Amino acid sequence: MYISHGEKAEILTEALPYIQKYNNKIIVIKYGGSAMTDEKLKTSVMRDLVLLAQIGIKVVLVHGGGPEITETFKRMDIRSSFINGLRQTDKEAVEVVQMVLAGKVSKSLVNLIENAGGNAISLSGVDGRMFEATQISEELGYVGEISTVNTKPVLDLLNNGYIPVISSVGCDRQGNIYNINADNAASKLAQALGAYSLISMTDTKGILLNQNDESTLVREILVSETEKLISEGIVSGGMIPKIKCCADAVRNGVKQVFIIDGRVPHAIIIEVLSDEGIGTMFH
């Protein structure tokens, strides 16, 4: 589709109020799902983050890496199952999780950001004890929930012009490493930073009343309604921790919280810099 110079100028002009609105504010973006497995799409997402940073938005990227972890587990013949959307993780498995997330995935995202002209540094939740965690249950093993967040490493990077790229692993005071659900990590970090917005990019359009019908997308939802959606089975599996973390962020001061479809090209730009908006917004 051809877009004239005038139309391009009009699009940029319409983005001005949003640029002013978000200038110098912190946006935490949780990145995961199929958007991470499509290399072309992944490159596009990282370019979009660089654009946001260039116009004065303080971008923090928190990433998962479920498909990469699953593939590595298969190659290493490590068995794992899920309970309520969380991956059971034993001692051997958590070492692989840390290797994949804090190593391969995180460094590849930093590389893409820098190739797009941005500045990025990767951190894990272990660095600076950013995510201090406690074990959720014996059944899940080395899966933790965040008890405290140290924001100093992230703020230091933001204040020096870097995009922090954060992998979702944490530790306890005894030095045990824990696999942290990336949605939980992004939510807790957004709260601790006093972020203006939390955006969860995943491989679904948002909350659907009928999982087989994308036209049933719920565009706006009250956090008080989330438990009902879970109890009725409308939200299940991996969406359970996602929706709970979004609701928790709203309850604890994050002004704008969204789940958006990371498979849509430039989804993050559409959400931040236009009236259109996509996905589900939490109130």
Tokens, residue 234: 């409308």
Q: How does pLDDT run along the chain (283 residues), one tens digit per residue?
A: 566 767 667 777 888 888 899 999 999 999 986 668 888 889 999 999 999 999 999 999 999 888 888 888 889 988 888 887 788 888 899 999 999 999 999 999 999 999 999 999 999 999 999 999 999 998 999 999 999 999 999 999 999 999 999 999 999 999 999 999 999 999 999 999 999 999 999 888 888 888 878 888 888 899 899 888 888 888 887 788 888 999 999 999 999 999 998 888 888 998 888 877 788 899 8
Best CA proximity match to 276, nearest among 268, 213, 193, 247 = 268
Question: Which H or E run includes 110?
Answer: helix 106-115
CATH of the domain at 226: 3.40.1160.10
Q: List b or e across 234-258, with b for residues whose CB sees 16 or more CB atoms inside 10 angstroms.
A: bbeebbbbbbbbbbbbbeeebebbb
Report which residue type is found at 140: L
Any domain includes 176 = yes
Q: Which domain holds residue 93?
A: 24-282
Any domain includes 18 = no
Any domain includes 11 = no
Tokens, residue 142: 């080395």
Any domain includes 167 = yes
The pTM assigned to this predicted structure is 0.92
Any domain includes 3 = no
CA distance 192 to 245: 13
Would you put residue 254 in left (φ > 0), alpha (ψ -120 to 50) or beta?
A: beta
Query: What are the CA-CA distances from residue 70 to residues 82, 87, 135, 178 (Å)?
Result: 11, 10, 21, 17
Cβ neighbourhood burial of 135 (10 Å; 0-12, 13-18, 19+):
middle
Report residue 88: phi and psi, to 5°.
-60, 135
Any domain includes 19 = no
Looking at the structure of the chain, the number of domains it has is 1
Report pLDDT for 196: 96
Question: Which H or E run includes 271?
Answer: helix 267-273
Any domain includes 5 = no
Query: What are the CA-CA distances from residue 40 to residues 19, 166, 190, 208 (Å)?
Result: 26, 21, 28, 27
Best CA proximity match to 31, nearest among 195, 267, 256, 210 = 267
